Amino acid sequence: MSTARATAKDQVREVLDQLPEDATLTEIVRAIAFSRIVEKGLAQAEAGQLIDDQEVLKLVEAWEASAGLQKPSNG
Protein backbone atom coordinates (compact mmCIF):
# COMPACT_ATOMS: atom_id res chain seq x y z
CA MET A 1 0.00 0.00 0.00
CA SER A 2 1.26 3.41 -0.85
CA THR A 3 0.35 5.36 2.29
CA ALA A 4 0.06 4.55 5.95
CA ARG A 5 -2.98 6.86 6.23
CA ALA A 6 -5.05 5.02 3.64
CA THR A 7 -8.30 3.63 4.92
CA ALA A 8 -9.00 -0.07 4.73
CA LYS A 9 -11.31 0.57 1.78
CA ASP A 10 -8.57 2.54 0.02
CA GLN A 11 -6.16 -0.34 0.58
CA VAL A 12 -8.63 -2.86 -0.87
CA ARG A 13 -9.28 -0.60 -3.86
CA GLU A 14 -5.53 -0.41 -4.50
CA VAL A 15 -5.28 -4.20 -4.49
CA LEU A 16 -8.33 -4.51 -6.75
CA ASP A 17 -6.86 -2.02 -9.21
CA GLN A 18 -3.80 -4.27 -9.60
CA LEU A 19 -5.85 -7.37 -10.46
CA PRO A 20 -7.21 -8.29 -13.87
CA GLU A 21 -10.88 -7.51 -14.55
CA ASP A 22 -11.71 -11.22 -14.68
CA ALA A 23 -10.14 -12.05 -11.28
CA THR A 24 -12.14 -14.58 -9.31
CA LEU A 25 -13.40 -13.92 -5.81
CA THR A 26 -10.84 -16.43 -4.51
CA GLU A 27 -8.02 -14.56 -6.27
CA ILE A 28 -9.28 -11.26 -4.87
CA VAL A 29 -9.44 -12.56 -1.31
CA ARG A 30 -5.96 -14.09 -1.63
CA ALA A 31 -4.54 -10.84 -2.99
CA ILE A 32 -6.05 -8.84 -0.14
CA ALA A 33 -4.75 -11.32 2.45
CA PHE A 34 -1.30 -11.36 0.86
CA SER A 35 -1.19 -7.57 0.81
CA ARG A 36 -2.11 -7.44 4.50
CA ILE A 37 0.55 -10.00 5.40
CA VAL A 38 3.21 -8.03 3.53
CA GLU A 39 2.14 -4.76 5.18
CA LYS A 40 2.26 -6.39 8.62
CA GLY A 41 5.71 -7.84 7.92
CA LEU A 42 7.06 -4.50 6.72
CA ALA A 43 5.71 -2.78 9.83
CA GLN A 44 7.37 -5.41 12.02
CA ALA A 45 10.67 -4.98 10.18
CA GLU A 46 10.50 -1.20 10.56
CA ALA A 47 9.87 -1.70 14.28
CA GLY A 48 12.99 -3.87 14.51
CA GLN A 49 11.03 -7.07 15.11
CA LEU A 50 13.31 -9.24 13.00
CA ILE A 51 14.53 -12.81 13.28
CA ASP A 52 17.95 -13.68 11.90
CA ASP A 53 18.44 -16.63 9.56
CA GLN A 54 19.91 -18.90 12.22
CA GLU A 55 16.88 -18.41 14.46
CA VAL A 56 14.58 -19.15 11.51
CA LEU A 57 16.46 -22.39 10.86
CA LYS A 58 16.04 -23.37 14.52
CA LEU A 59 12.30 -22.67 14.32
CA VAL A 60 11.93 -24.72 11.13
CA GLU A 61 13.86 -27.61 12.65
CA ALA A 62 11.65 -27.50 15.75
CA TRP A 63 8.50 -27.51 13.58
CA GLU A 64 9.84 -30.42 11.54
CA ALA A 65 10.65 -32.38 14.68
CA SER A 66 7.24 -31.71 16.21
CA ALA A 67 5.56 -32.85 12.97
CA GLY A 68 7.71 -35.97 12.78
CA LEU A 69 9.34 -34.86 9.55
CA GLN A 70 12.85 -35.87 8.62
CA LYS A 71 15.43 -33.81 6.82
CA PRO A 72 16.09 -35.01 3.26
CA SER A 73 19.37 -36.85 2.86
CA ASN A 74 22.03 -35.48 0.53
CA GLY A 75 22.70 -38.61 -1.41
Instruction: Write the burial class of residue 38 (CB in 10 Å: 0-12 exposed, 13-18 middle, 19+ buried).
Output: exposed
Q: What is the pLDDT of residue 73?
A: 67
- Cα dihedral sign, 39-32-19-4: negative
pTM for the predicted model, two decimal places: 0.64
Residue 51's contacts (CB-CB under 8 Å, 6 or more residues apart) are 59
Question: How far apart, in whole angstroms, are the C-alpha atoms of residue 9 and residue 7?
Answer: 5
Each domain of the chain, given as residue ranges in start order, spans 8-66
Percent of the chain with pLDDT over 70: 88
* pLDDT, mean of residues 17-30: 97
Amino acid present at 35: S
